[in-house]
Amino acid sequence: MVGMLTLAVFLLVTVGTAALGMQLDGLRARALERLAPEPRLVPKQVDSPALIWRELVSAIGAYLPASSKDLPRLKRRLVRAGIRNPVAPRIFQGARAVATVVFGLVATAIAVRSGAGTSNAVLGVASGAAIGYIAPMQYLLWRIAKRQHSIERGLPNALDLMVICVESGLGIDQTTLQVAKELRLAHPEIADEFTVMNLELRAGSRRAEALHNLADRTGVEDLKKLVAVLVQTDRFGTSIAQSLRGHAEYLRSMARQRAEERASKLAVKLVFPIFFCVLPSLFAVTVGPVLTHLIRDLFPLIENM
């Protein structure tokens, strides 16, 4: 009887201890789950069509022979267009090759569908391939011209901000950095160029060298003049604020003169649209009814005579 009671107590204590341990372990696991950071679901990376196309064009451009004389010029044009990717020349060469083939195939399909002769078909295919070869460079030149125009338009505002920053006690390096921050939304092209110049200064380049690189990257004549003013001011120790203010007034006067020049050319440019578009419609409206009446009334009289 005592043995049975001892066994029952032992089993009760064992079961209770096991149940308590399992409960404590569950509490500990729930506490760790609450303290653990939420797991982030990492989406499965799927290559986009644009990325696949870029890699394909880059691979094609890598196999094309690049001229050692034309490659630096192409890199300079890409930088002036705001494209600073190291693989941009390869992508451009690949895009030019793909455009040449695609335009040539389109011209071939058009020639076959229209049933053109052999000489006309060859001429059309050659013209299509030439257009495909020229189109990427023309697009790049258009981007360069657009970016340079944006820089020219925002340069007077940048100079005004530089004058304010210099007169408040900032140096030329801190001034360009502050102007880049302030013009990030209004004129992002100037902000990017000033940011690159500050990075060059932090990397150890001399100020004159960084300024000349700024002028060479953009290719804007007004910015080249500004760089010349800043280099001379830094060399001779003259007042930076006075020089910047004078140069800002010069740029605004030059912009005003260019606008007046365009306005004076407008009358000459309007001669051809007026002569070929407005006058024919005006003659049709004014002289047309008169001619209609003459034909309707005069021809019967002539026939009856």
Neighbours of 177 (CB within 10 A): 20
Give the mean pLDDT of the chain.
80
Q: Are 164 and 177 in contact (CB under 8 A)?
A: no
What distance, in Å, lies between the first and last C-alpha atoms of the chain?
156
pLDDT in tens, 188-197: 899 999 999 9
Q: Which amino acid is at 246?
A: G
- 70 or 165, higher pLDDT: 165
- Kindly state the percentage of the chain with pLDDT values over 90: 8
Q: How far is CA 148 from its chain centroid?
A: 12
Nearest to 96 by CA among 52, 127, 140, 126: 140
Please say if the pLDDT value at position 64 is more than 70: yes
pLDDT at 143: 93
Compute the distance between CA of residue 299 and CA of residue 77 in angstroms, rounded to an integer.
68
Highest mean pLDDT among 36-45, 205-214, 277-286: 205-214
Would you state the structure tokens that stand for residue 95, as one six-digit string?
A: 């895009």
pLDDT tens digits, 135-158: 999 999 999 999 999 998 888 888
Question: Contacts for 235-243 with beta carbons within 8 Å, 24 or more apart?
Answer: 235/208, 240/166, 240/172, 241/163, 241/166, 241/167
The answer to whether the beta carbons of residues 127 and 103 sit under 8 Å apart is: no
Report DSSP state, residue 237: T
At residue 290, does pLDDT exceed 80? no
CB-based contact 124:206 (threshold 8 Å): no
d(C-alpha 93, C-alpha 133), whole Å: 10
Contact 74, 92 (CB under 8 A): yes
Residue 187 is classified by DSSP as -
Comparing 295 with 87, which gets the higher pLDDT? 87
Query: How far is the C-alpha of 59 from the C-alpha of 66, rounded, in Å?
Result: 14
Q: H or E segment at 236?
A: helix 221-236
What confidence category does residue 50 fall into, taking pLDDT thresholds of 50, 70 and 90?
A: low
Q: How far apart are CA 78 and CA 163, in angstroms?
A: 31
Instruction: Name which residue leads in pLDDT, 4 or 132.
Output: 132
SS3 206: coil
Mean of the pLDDT values across residues 272-291? Answer: 81
Given a contact cutoff of 8 angstroms between Cβ atoms, the answer to whether 90 and 229 are in contact is: no
The mean per-residue pLDDT over the stretch 120-148 comes to 90
Mark out the alpha helices in 81-117 (DSSP H runs): 88-114
**What number is the average pLDDT over the span 24-43?**
60
Q: What is the pLDDT of residues 96-113, one digit of tens each?
A: 888 898 988 988 888 888
Most confident range, picked from 44-53, 166-175, 232-241, 289-298? 166-175
% pLDDT > 70, the chain: 79
**What local confidence, expressed as pLDDT, does residue 42 receive?**
47
The answer to whether the beta carbons of residues 251 and 224 sit under 8 Å apart is no
What mean pLDDT do residues 12-25 have? 63
Note the Cα 229 to chain centre separation in Å. 29
Q: How many residues does the chain have?
A: 305
pLDDT at 6: 64
Token pair in block for residue 144 = 């360069």
pLDDT in tens, 211-270: 899 989 888 888 888 888 888 887 887 788 888 888 888 888 888 888 888 888 888 888
